[in-house]
Amino acid sequence: MTLLIKESEVTNLIDYREIYNSLVNAFELFENKLAINLQRSRISFKGATLTFQAAAMEDYIGYKTFISGNFLIFLYNISGELLSIIESDRLTQIRTAILSVIASDFIYGDYSSIGIIGLGKQGIAHVEVINEIKKGIKINVFTQSKSRLEKAISVLGSEGISVNVSDSIKKICEDSEVIVSITKAKDPFIKLDYVSSKRKHINAMGSNIPEKIEVYPEVVKASKIIVVEDFIQTLQEAGELVIAKKMNMLDESKLVTLSSVISKKVTIPKEGITLFKSVGIGLEDLAVGKLIYEKALSKGIGNEIEVKGIWYRELERK
């Protein structure tokens, strides 16, 4: 039987620290070639785009697919049995935010302030996660949309979360040790002079198609190290790196994987700009999907449904 886990059930199973640990474990496996990630593929037709990203680790193989904001994880065992279908919109928001925290922790280290640029549902999730995992940290926020700011303040206020509202991108960059950009911007907005102090770390989380870019090429060029999830997928999808490469402003020798950073195989510079360019990969979705499935199974949560995917004649049953 296949376990169907709905959004409301997923939300009740989410534990930020457990997701943090599951992602770190997945990248450690990836570094040791005990997990694999398949580059994302997309198909677009009449304005709709279906995305597919897959991975395998331990005794699991699976993928996430999404279209028009509908996110689903399909989890199989290595025998090919469909174990679970997981609704994963909220889970995607949370794993993205926690990934941002992981990158900041392992690349920058200790920090007392963080700036979030963009306050859509992903930006709000970042604030929620950071407020819980990094208790006492100063959270600065910025969005150009007044309505989004008002909505975010209302949502966060109802959860007892307070933030410091910056009046410009320059100001939030100056006031924050770690900067997170989580927008749908097509034009860059993080300039080199905004982050040219002694030490800054940037998590560029918003762009995963070449046509979108949040960070100016000059920042990419000036970065001491550029951390990515998957070399091939990032160089294909990350707008910041695609543009910088075209302009001869990308030194690929600076590229390292997050898995190598987590495994402490890379020395991180203690001065200058460090950059984490995330595009989101299937391995992350598999890791959190596995966690949610195993928790649901142990707690008796979810609905069992019969999904075979195999046709046979009545006589073949006998």
- CATH numbers and ranges of domains, the chain: 2-91+282-317 (3.30.1780.10), 109-277 (3.40.50.720)
* Band of residue 197 on the pLDDT scale cut at 50, 70, 90: confident
pLDDT > 60? residue 317: no
What is the chain written as a DSSP string?
A: -EEEE-HHHHHHH--HHHHHHHHHHHHHHHHTTSEEEPPPEEEEETTEEEEEEEEEETTEEEEEEEETTEEEEEEEETT--EEEEEE-HHHHHHHHHHHHHHHIIIII-S-SEEEEE--SHHHHHHHHHHHHHSTT-EEEEE-S-HHHHHHHHHHHHHTT---EEPSSHHHHHHH-SEEEE----SS--B-GGGS-SSEEEEEE-S--STT---B-HHHHHH-SEEEES-HHHHHHH-HHHHHHHHTT---GGGEEEHHHHHTT-SPPPSSEEEEEE----HHHHHHHHHHHHHHHHHHT-SEEE--------GGGG-
What mean pLDDT comes out for the span 196-204?
93
pLDDT > 80? residue 318: no
* Band of residue 314 on the pLDDT scale cut at 50, 70, 90: low
Q: Which tens digits make up the pLDDT trace of 114-157? A: 999 999 999 999 999 999 999 999 999 999 999 999 999 999 99
pTM: 0.95
Please give the pLDDT value at position 198.
86
Q: Which tens digits make up the pLDDT trace of 247-271? A: 999 999 999 999 999 999 999 999 9
pLDDT > 60? residue 39: yes
